[in-house]
Amino acid sequence: MNAVIEMPSRSLVQGAGRLSATEVVQHALVVQEVLRAVMKPDVHYGKIPGTDKQTLFQPGADVLCMTFRIAPEFTIEDLSTVDAVRYRVTCRGVHQLSGVTLGSCVGEASSGEEKYKWRRAASEKEYELTAVTHRRIKYGKSWETKQVRTEPADVANTVLKMAEKRAKIGMVLNVTACSDMFGQDLEDLDETLRDSLVGGDQPPPQTTQADPPTWPANKFAEQLVRWTKAIQAGLKTHDEIISLAKSKGELTVDQIDAIRTVRTAPKDADQPAE
C-alpha cells in the first residue's frame, strides 16, 4: 500500500515539465490499483440510476487526494441575493510536499436549485396558510406531494458544502486525469432533471416477444388425458383445445393430429341437440 501512495508523488510533480509515456502509464496503473484495492462500489463511486458511467463520490475523491498527496484549498465567492443563497467555489489542488498547484476547478450551488428550493409541507394547515406563490403540488411518476418554499437561510450551509464538494470532485478529476473513469455531478442533480438529461424520459426500446417453447412429449401426454376428458364431456371442442395449447407452447404436427383424433362421446338419439 505504501508503494501505491509513494508512486504518484513522483509522477504528478516533475521538474522536466512533462511526464514521459512510462510515467503516464504508471499513473494510470496507480489509479486502477487504488480503484480495485481501496475503493468500494456505492461508497466511493457508483452508477446513478439511468446512467452508464460511474460517478465519483466525495469519499472517492478523498481517497484519491490521499493517494496522490493533494491538499484542496478553497476560495469562496458569495453571490447571494435577497431571494436566494448562492456560492461559487474555486478548489485548487496543491501538492502537499512541494506546494505546487496541480490544477483547479470551479463549483457552484444555489438555494434556487429544485432540491433546496422546496420542501414537503409539515402539515395540511401549513400548506393552506402558505402564500400561493410559495406553495405547490409536486407530481412524480406515481405520486404527488404538497410542498412549500424553503427559507434560504435554512439551507445556506448545505448549499456552501455542496459547492465545495462539486469543486473538489471536479479538481480531483482534472488533476488525476481519471475523468474517463468517472463522471462528476450526476448524483447532485434532481431526479427528474437527471432523467431528462440522460434520456430517462425516452420510451424504452421495443423488444420482440419470444416464441413460446415447444410442448415436451411427457407434458403433452399428461395434458392430452385431461383434454380428452374435456372433449368427450362436450366442454371443449378440438379447435378450442388446440388454441389453448398453442397459447402455452408450440405444437408439432403429430401433437395436433393426436388432439383431432380424440373421439367425442356419442349423443343419445332421443336427446335434442344443444
Q: Which phi and psi angles does 148 have, rounded to 5°?
A: -130, 160
pLDDT (0 to 100) of residue 219:
82
Is residue 102 in a domain? yes
Q: Of 125, 149, 173, which residue sits at a domain end?
A: 149
Strand partners, 58: none
Looking at the structure of the chain, the number of domains it has is: 3
154 in the same domain as 138: no
Residue range of the domain that includes 45? 2-111+150-197
Instruction: Let me know whether 169 and 184 are in one domain.
Output: yes
- For the chain, 274 residues long, the average pLDDT of each consecutive 10-residue run is 37 60 78 86 82 84 92 96 95 93 94 92 93 92 91 94 94 86 58 48 47 74 84 84 82 81 65 48
Q: For residues 89 and 191, is the Cβ–Cβ distance under 8 A?
A: no
pLDDT at position 108 is 95
Q: How far apart are CA 214 and CA 124, in angstroms?
A: 58
Is 76 within the bounds of a domain?
A: yes
State the Cα–Cα distance between residues 55 and 13, nearest whole angstrom: 26
17 with 107, same domain: the answer is yes
Q: Are residues 82 and 135 in the same domain?
A: no
270 part of a folded domain? no
Looking at the structure, tell me whether residues 167 and 82 fall in a common domain. yes
The answer to whether residues 250 and 215 touch, using CB atoms and an 8 Å cutoff, is: yes
Residue 207 falls inside a structural domain:
no
In a domain, 169, yes or no: yes
Residue with cell 502537499: 96
* Helices and strands (H, E) in the chain, number of each type: 10, 8
Supply the pLDDT for residue 196: 46
pLDDT (0 to 100) of residue 199: 47
Residue 212 in any domain: the answer is: no
Distance CA 46, CA 186 (A): 11
- Residue 272 counted as domain residue: no
Same domain, 33 and 69: yes
Same-domain check for residues 58 and 129: no
For position 78, what pLDDT does the model report? Answer: 97
| DSSP bridge pairs for 107 | 89
CA torsion sign for 225, 231, 234, 239 is: positive
Residues 37 and 84 in one domain: yes
Looking at the structure, tell me whether residues 154 and 46 fall in a common domain. Answer: yes
CA 158 to chain centre: 24
Residues 30 and 7 in one domain: yes
Cα 156 to Cα 166: distance, rounded to the nearest angstrom? 16
Is residue 267, in this structure, part of any structural domain at all? no
Contacts of residue 50, Cβ cutoff 8 Å, sequence gap at least 6: 194, 195, 198, 199, 200
Edge to edge, what strands does the sheet with 118-120 contain?
118-120, 144-149, 135-139
Same domain for 50 and 141: no
Let me know whether 8 and 50 are in one domain: yes
